[in-house]
Each structure stands twice: as C-alpha cells, then as structure tokens.
Chains A and B, each alone.
Chain A
Amino acid sequence: MYDAQPMSRPMVVSPERAGSRPLVQVLHDWIVTVDHKKLGVMYFSYGILFLVIGGVEASIMRAQLAVANNHLVSPETFNRLFTMHGTTMIFFAAMPIVFGFANYLMPLMIGARDMAFPRLNAWSFWMSALGGIILYFSFIGGSGLYGAGTAPDVGWFAYAPLTSPAFSVGHSTDYWIIGILVSGFGSIGTALNVLTTILCMRCPGMKLYRMPLFAWMNTVMAVLVLVAIGPLTAAQIMLLIDRYLGGHFFDTQAGGSAVIWMHFFWIFGHPEVYILVLPAFAIVSEVIPVFSRKPIFGYSIMVAATVSIGFISLGVWAHHMFTVGMTSYANAFFVASTAAIAVPTGIKIFNWLGTMWGGKIRYSVAMMFCVGFLCQFLIAGLTGIMLSAAPFDWQLGNSYFVVAHFHYVILGGIVMAVFAGVYYWFPKVTGKMLSETLGKWHFWLFVIGFHLTFDFMHIPGLLGMPRRIYTYDASRGWEIWNLIVSIGVIFQVLGILFWVVNLIITFYKGKKTGNDPWDAWTLEWSTTSPPPDYNFATIPVVRSRRPLWDSKHPEDPDWKYE
C-alpha cells in the first residue's frame, strides 16, 4: 500500500552541504554528475540555448524575406542559415529538451531512485553536447585551414549529391555529418536508458498498465529512437566513405543514387517527428487530467493509439518523396499509410477532449498552453492530411505550405506542450512557482505571434512560393504574406523573452511552494520539491494509475475501479 508521507523520515545519503560554495566546485558537481535530475536539467538548458540560437537564425531569415528583392544577407549566408536552423532545432534543441523531460521525470514518475544506467546517461548527454559543439565549430573550421569558416549549406536533410565533394568543397558538410553522428550516439544511449528504466525499475505495484501515460509515450519514443537513428547513422557513415574513401553510395557522378540517401534520411526523418511529438503528447497527457480534475479518458485506448502511432510511423517515410517520381502504386501505398496515422492521432485528441469534458478546468498557464496545443495540433494534423494526398503534395511539397505545416507541428504542438510542461513541473524542479502573470504575457504574445507567422505562411505556399529561396520578385504577389509572417516573429520573440525572464526571476526570487502545488496524482509530487538526490526515502508502493489520488481519497480510491 502506498505510504502517503514517506518524507516524514528523511534519509541522509549525502551530508548536508554548506549554503554557498565556490563556483568551481558547483561547476564540477554539474560536470561530473550522473544524477538523472541534474542531467535532465542540463539536457533541457542545453536545448534552450540552442532553441535561442536557432531562433536567432530564423529571425534573420524572416528579416531577409520580409520584403521582395531584399539584400540583407547573401544567398550563401541564407543557405547556411536555413541549414543550421533546421539541424539545430531538430537535433540540438527539440531532442535534448524532450530527453531532458524524460530524464528528469521518468524515475520520479515510476518511483525509481535514478535511471537504469546513470553513467551511460551522463555519457549520452555529453555526446549530444559534443555534437552541437562540433556543428557550430563549423563556423570557424568549415573551410579548413585555408579559408574563413563556413557553416554547412546543404539543407537539414542534406540531399545527395549536394553533399558530395564536387558540390561541397571544404569541411562544412563534414561538421554537419560528424556533429549529427556523435549526437546520434548520445540519443541511442538515452533511448536504451529510458527503455531499460521503464521496463526494469518501476516501483512495486506499478504494472505496465498502471504506468502514467507519460511513461508509455516515452517508451514508444525510446523504441523509435533505437529503430530510427540507426539508418541515419549508417547513411552518415556511408556519406563519409563517399567523401573520404572514394565510395560511391550517393555520388551520382560515379553511378551512385541520390534517391537512396532520401530513403535513408526519411526512414529516420519521419519517425523522428514522432520521437519529438510523443514526449509532447506525454506532457499533455499528464497536465490536462490534473487541471481538468479527472483521470485521463480512455487510458488503454491511449496506450494502444501510442503504440500504433509508433508502428505506423515506421511505414510512412516516402511521403517526403512524393515528388521524386515513384510509381503510382508506391505513391498510393504511402498515401494510405500516411492517412492511416491520422486515426490514432485523432483518437488522442478526442481522448484529451474527453478528459476535459465534464471536468472542472483550472486555467493556470500550463493548462492554457495545453488548450493552445490542442487547437494548434488539430490544425497541424489537418494540413498533414491535406499533404498526405500525394497529388496535393505534388503541388504543396517543398513549398511554404509544408514549412507552415511542420512548424505548426513543432512549434504549435511540441513547443507549446514543452511550455506547458515547464510551467507544470518547474515547481517540482526548483521548489518555486513560475509567475502566472508573466506566464500569461508569455502565452498570449507567443500565441499571437505564432498565428501571425504560421497561419499566414500557408498562403505563399498555395501561391507557388517554394521553400529555401533567399529572395523573390515582387511580381509574384507573395510580399504581403511574407511581411505578415515576419511581423509575427517579433511577437514570438517577445513571448520567449517573457518566458526567459520568468524563469530567471523565479529561479532567484520566486515564491516557495509546497511539494504538490497542483494537487496532482503521480508519484513525482509525493517527494519534496526539489526532490532529494535519492528521490524517495522509501520506495513507494502503488495500487493504481493515480497513487496520490488513492492516498488523498482513501474512502474512494482508484484501485477499486481499475
């Protein structure tokens, strides 16, 4: 039976440290740590750092495109900007952030004292960090010793043969290859760790069917990482062989295949979308129930939908390749598989809605972001349906419509969920509540900016504007839409500023809060805020999916009904 007050008997594992210590010692603690909470925070902070860098790159591009025939940046610079923006955001912002959540919360949510392999955990983080550093070192070393530095300019999916030595001289592409290769090792390590932790370290009583949905969705995420990163790593190694050992895998001038690279890349690239979005679903699946004051609607169906999303996502990759001239049968197959993934995804949206239905919804900032997520992810899904119809994609593929679509998924879906998660768990991580007032400024500015930018970004795509062009002529009629899109960026930047200020002010001066400020139900809220090194003094025992509900409502516990 779950013990409601485990913290009444604090267990001293490490001696109480003095209040203030030298900076070197603090840094040393962080650098050598194998604690999942510290690593989680480091993953997250690292991701935020790159989120800001990628955001700056995006802002420069939007300034360039705000008016027709602009000369703010050269074409070379623009091409580097979109390559670095995409690579940074996917590999060094989004992935570290979702790994950060998994790292920090997974042991706490399943009643474990750490991840299964703490040293592997630290190693994985530092590999990911190294990858980012290598990628950005290209600014200094990209052209080799004989020239000024350049970042890679091959686009984030780096289609062959642009990456071959004939078209990419110098070393900028090598930095791109090796940076991603190295961070991929880290991702695989983290995935192994998350998976093992969930499978082997659950506290007594926490059967698989009693895990929080957060754990289920991260399980599927980890499996997808293990399956999807492999082909990417293989492709990067083949590309290195092409570039340095005279291989011809993708070297079209020597008979290699450009299309094989696309297959390798997208069989990674599409599951990658779900690697990022499943942890976002995981956050939403924890936040919505707590603020609606109801358990998640259709738990088992949610699990089934998650697993089927995992499976189907491995069979849809060639919808990124509808325009490469596949046969009508191949195109039709990928239309079917891509449209099919809408079914489990739709089920999730309906179940979140079902959770809100009949509840008593408390609109704290975390919940506001979740409702924003629901609306925006709905639209992202529907534009995805449009693109899944291959002939429609023949028009819209590689246009700004696609750019708007996947930013709707990533910013409107994943990042909104991440914001919700930060407002929800920040009191657990720091013991302090983020300001709700600043949070509302953050929410409204960001949402207004998001819609100005990405709603209107669909239109130039429908009007024939391809992506990755550094300029366009005024006669095309795209200028007004691009201007609105660029104006939206200002609001998004302001929103992010409010968020960062909120984080910093709260961290230093925020008001202290209790261990369970939201009156929540999962195990992480049963320990102190911030949790001690060992997480739980006594390992909890659970009898239902909501152990804290059981302890708060002993007269009517969940386990009677599950």
Chain B
Amino acid sequence: MCSRSANCGRQNSTGQSQPVKGPAKWALQCAALLCFLAIVSGASASSFAGGPSSTPSIFNPASTPAHDIYHLSLFVIAICLGIFLVVFSLIVYAAVKFRARVSDDGREPPQIYGSNQVELAWTVIPILIVVVLFLAAARVIHAVEDARFPADAIEVTAVGHQFWWEFQYPGYGFITANVLHVPVSDPNHPRPTHITLLSADTDHSFWVPQLAGKIDLIPNRKNEMWIDPHDLGTYVGQCAQYCGVEHAKMLLTVDVQSPEEFERWTQQQKSPAMVSDQVAAGRQVFESNACVNCHTVTGTGANGKFGPDLTHLMSRTTIAAGAATNTQDNLRLWVKEPDAIKPGALMPAMQLEERDVDALVAYLMSLQ
C-alpha cells in the first residue's frame, strides 16, 4: 500500500466550497433502492397466478424452456441483487461518511494512491462470479437448444408474414393462421411441439413468454424452437422483432388443448371447406374478386398464399392476427376498411358494393 499523509492546509482559492448535503444524498440512495425493489415486486406480482394469463409474464412459466429460463433468471437476479446491495451500501456509506464536514479544518485528507491487495480482491471475486454465471447460463443453453424430441412430437412450421402468422402442420396436411394449436404435454410422457421458424418477408420473432424464450423468424434462414405446455389454456404473445408498420398488432396466441380436443381440431382442419348453396352469391363475390390472389379456401379455386388460409376461418376467435374479435361486424369492417382495424395492414380495401359485402361476409361466416 502506497499512501501518505499530506500535512498541508488546503488553499481555499475562490470561495467555492460547497455546502454539505448528507441528508439529500441519503434521500437519493433510498429513492433508488425503493425504485429497484418496486421493479422486482411489481414484476413478480403476476408470477403467482399459475396457468395461462392475459399478462404474459416471464415469471409465470408453463412450459419446460420457460421454466428453465425462469429458474436461471431467479438465480441471476439473486446474484445481481446481492452485488447491488453490497456495492450500493458501500457507495452510500462512502458518500455519507466521507463528506466534508462543516467543521472541516481545510486540510487535505491522506493521499492514497491505491492498493494491490484490494485491487486483486475486487478482480478475483468478480471473475469467480462470472464463471458461476457462465456455467449456469451454459447449462440452460444446452438444455434448451440441444434438446432431443420423442418420435411423437408435433411438427409445426411457423411462417412470419407482415403482419400475421402462418402455421403449417405438415404431419396433418393443413395450414392455419395466427392461433397455434398444440396438445398439452404431460411431464411424465412429454409430447413437445417442435416449431420450425421461417419468414416470408422481413424479420419477425416468435415470443410467447410463458412458453419459451423468443426466437427470430428470418428470411432465408431456418430456425427452430420447441414448447411443451403443461397446462391447458390460451397463452398470448406477439411478434418481438420490428417488422414494419403493424408490428404492434402482429399478435400471437397458443391454444393448448387436451390430446382428444387437439385430435378433434386437426380432423376438422383437415376437412375441406363447407359448401353451402345458401352462400353461393358470396362465394361468387369471393372467387370473382382479387380475394383469391391472396387467400386459400381448399376445395375451391382460391389458392393464394399471400394472406391467411380461410378454409376454416370461423374456427378462429380473432381476425387480423388478434387485432379484432372474429364477429360478423368486424369481418364486415375488415373487408370494407382494413385500416380501421389495423392501419397499414397489407389487406386492401376491396371497394365492394354493400350488397356484395353482405354476401361475402355471409360466405366467410359459413367457413366453419
């Protein structure tokens, strides 16, 4: 330790010495601490709910990857909180204890240049902490990224579009949109869903916080992720990579069903579109307009791929990637004026006559 005491009175050159503000400093420190605690408590407030929640908190996991991350995050937060409390207390202590007193004699304090022992301590201890954190993170990276799947895992291909989600079920041979249906996975007999992530246009990111961390959907690139939800219900999320005008309304829903329900749903999705003479006029409107350029209705001439598959439109509870509920009024509005629901959506306003809109909506509502 190289230190010395400077026995020299400080020349107070131009009357610049400042009033001591000990209590004010305390207020600052306490405020910062309170805010930090507010973050932690606020964020964990919704972590006791269990099961699907309309607030997709990362502290309320319902699937193995999200669970693994949750446990890692608690560990990392605990370490960081510990470091914070120690270092913050030291800063507060130093800031208050070593303030210049009103009764100060004006002499300079002992001039200390450093200490190799102390430097060594506060180098080695952080290195050890970093090693521990790295090992903890590497373990979860391996567990999530290098997982193996049982033979009966569900295969889904998710394709990101501006600004909606296409879900292909290659094992079943149908395509749906915006709501991903998966069977619940019993932890004793896991049946995970393996998702291949592609993009049709710009970057997107698949993020349903309660089920897994996000992975991007990038054009010209194949990414993968998996989920194995343990609880039935509807999990919400949304696109997490800026993808254009309506990035905010590229919502995402995962419907976790019992195995029987899921099988029933796949059977229904596999069947061709309903045909009904009652809505022939609407079907005529649909097939003789630009609708067919972008949308598919299996069993008809409509086989466009640019927009969502409408074969079983009415089996979905929302339209426009979750921007509106799937009701007659909203369908009508969506056909007439998409910007009223989702300004910037790529669906054009079709400029149909009122009579044709009525017929078209009646046809769409028949696509059970």
Residues of A whose CB lies within 8 Å of any CB of B are 74-76, 79, 153, 155, 159-162, 167, 252-253, 255-259, 292-295, 297-301, 323-325, 327-328, 331-332, 335-336, 339-340, 342-343, 346-347, 349-351, 353-354, 356-364, 367-368, 371-372, 374-376, 378-379, 382-383, 385-386, 388-399, 433, 436, 444, 447-448, 451-452, 455-456, 458-459, 462-464, 466-472, 475-478, 481, 513-514, 516-519, 552-553, 555-556, 558, 561-562
A258-B220, A331-B141 known; 19 other A-B pairs, CB under 8 Å? A162-B244, A167-B201, A252-B219, A332-B134, A350-B122, A357-B98, A363-B24, A390-B137, A447-B31, A455-B36, A459-B42, A459-B43, A462-B59, A464-B55, A466-B238, A468-B248, A516-B14, A519-B10, A519-B12
Q: Indicate if the CB atoms of A297 and B59 lie closer than 8 Å.
A: no
B83 interface contact, C-beta 8 A: yes
Interchain CB contact under 8 A, B134 and A339: yes
A258 to B221, CA, bound (A): 9
Within 8 Å CB of A470, what residues of B? 248
Q: Could you say which residues of chain B place their CB within 8 Å of the CB of A462?
A: 43, 57-59
* Residues in chain B within 8 A of chain A (CB atoms): 2, 4, 6-8, 10-14, 16-21, 24-25, 28-29, 31-32, 35-36, 38-39, 42-43, 46, 54-59, 66, 68-69, 72-73, 76-77, 79-80, 83-84, 87-88, 90-91, 94-95, 98-101, 104, 108-115, 118-119, 122-123, 126-127, 130, 133-134, 136-138, 140-142, 144-146, 197, 201-203, 205, 207, 209, 212-216, 218-221, 223-224, 236-249, 343-344
Chain A contacts for B55, CB-based, 8 A: 463-464, 476-478
Q: Are B145 and A327 in contact (CB under 8 A)?
A: yes
Residue of B nearest to A447 (CB): B28
User: In whole angstroms, what is the CA distance A515 to B137 when docked?
Assistant: 53
Q: List 14 A-B contacts (CB under 8 A).
A: A332-B138, A354-B114, A356-B98, A378-B91, A386-B73, A390-B137, A394-B214, A395-B66, A459-B42, A463-B55, A466-B205, A517-B13, A519-B16, A561-B113
* CB-based contact B95/A371 at 8 Å: yes
CB–CB A363/B12 < 8 A: no
> Are B242's CB and A343's CB within 8 A?
no
Shortest distance from the beta carbon of B248 to any chain A beta carbon, whole Å: 4
- Contact of A360 with B344 in the complex, beta carbons under 8 Å: no
Interface contact B69-A392, CB-CB below 8 Å: yes
A75 contact from B94, B100, B246, Cβ within 8 A: B246
Residue pair B39, A458 in contact (C-beta under 8 Å): yes
**Least Cβ distance of A377 to chain B in Å?**
10
A458 engages B43 (CB within 8 Å): yes
Q: Does B57 contact A398, Cβ atoms closer than 8 Å?
A: no
A514 adjacent to B14 (CB under 8 Å): yes
Q: Which 9 A-B pairs have the closest CB atoms?
A: A394-B213, A464-B56, A469-B248, A477-B55, A455-B35, A325-B223, A252-B219, A298-B114, A462-B43
**Alpha-carbon distance A259/B217, docked complex (angstroms):** 11
Distance of A183 Cα from B266 Cα, bound (Å): 56
**Contact residue among A153, A328, A354 (Cβ-Cβ distance under 8 Å from B145):** A328
- Does the CB pair B8–A162 fall under 8 Å? no
Across the two chains, which residue of chain B brings its CB closest to A389?
B137
B87 to chain A, nearest CB (A): 6
Q: How far is the CA of A383 from the CA of B122 in the complex (A)?
A: 19
Name the contact of A162 in the complex, choosing from B25, B76, B213, B243 (C-beta under 8 A).
B243
- Is B248 a contact of A471 with CB atoms below 8 Å? yes
Interchain CB contact (< 8 A) of A555 among B8, B42, B99: B8
B84–A363 CB distance below 8 A: no
- Among A395, A398, A433, the most chain B Cβ lie within 10 Å of the Cβ of A395
Return chain B residues, CB-CB under 8 Å to A392. 69, 72-73, 76, 137
Q: Please tell me if the beta carbons of A76 and B344 are within 8 angstroms of each other in the complex.
A: yes
Contact status A252-B220, CB under 8 Å: yes
Q: Which of B11, B118, B146, B245 contacts A552, CB < 8 Å?
A: B11
Q: Are B13 and A519 within 8 A (Cβ)?
A: yes
- How far is B65's CA from A104's CA once the two chains are assembled, in angstroms? 52
CB pair A343 B127 closer than 8 Å: yes
Question: How distant is the Cα of A387 from the Cα of B87 in the complex, in angstroms?
Answer: 20
- B130 contacts A391, CB within 8 Å? no
A514-B219 contact given A161-B202, A361-B98, CB 8 Å threshold? no
Q: B119 and A561: CB pair below 8 A?
A: no
CB of A422 to closest CB in B, whole Å = 16
Min distance, Cβ B147 to any Cβ of chain A, angstroms: 10
Q: Are B239 and A375 in contact, with the CB atoms below 8 A?
A: no
A299 close to B219 (CB less than 8 A): no
Chain B residues lying within 8 Å of A335, measured Cβ to Cβ, are 134, 137-138, 141
- Decide: A375 and B219 in contact? CB cutoff 8 A: no
* Smallest Cβ-Cβ distance to B87: which chain A residue: A378
The winner among A299, A336, A448 for most chain B CB atoms within 10 A is A336
Distance between Cα atoms of A331 and B76 in the complex (Å): 17
Residue among B11, B57, B224, B249 making CB contact with A519, cutoff 8 Å: B11
Docked pose: A351 CA to B91 CA in angstroms? 11
Q: Are A394 and B212 in contact (CB under 8 A)?
A: yes
Given contacts A253-B219, A328-B146, A382-B80, contact A358 B56 (CB under 8 A): no
Contact A464 B216 (CB under 8 A): no
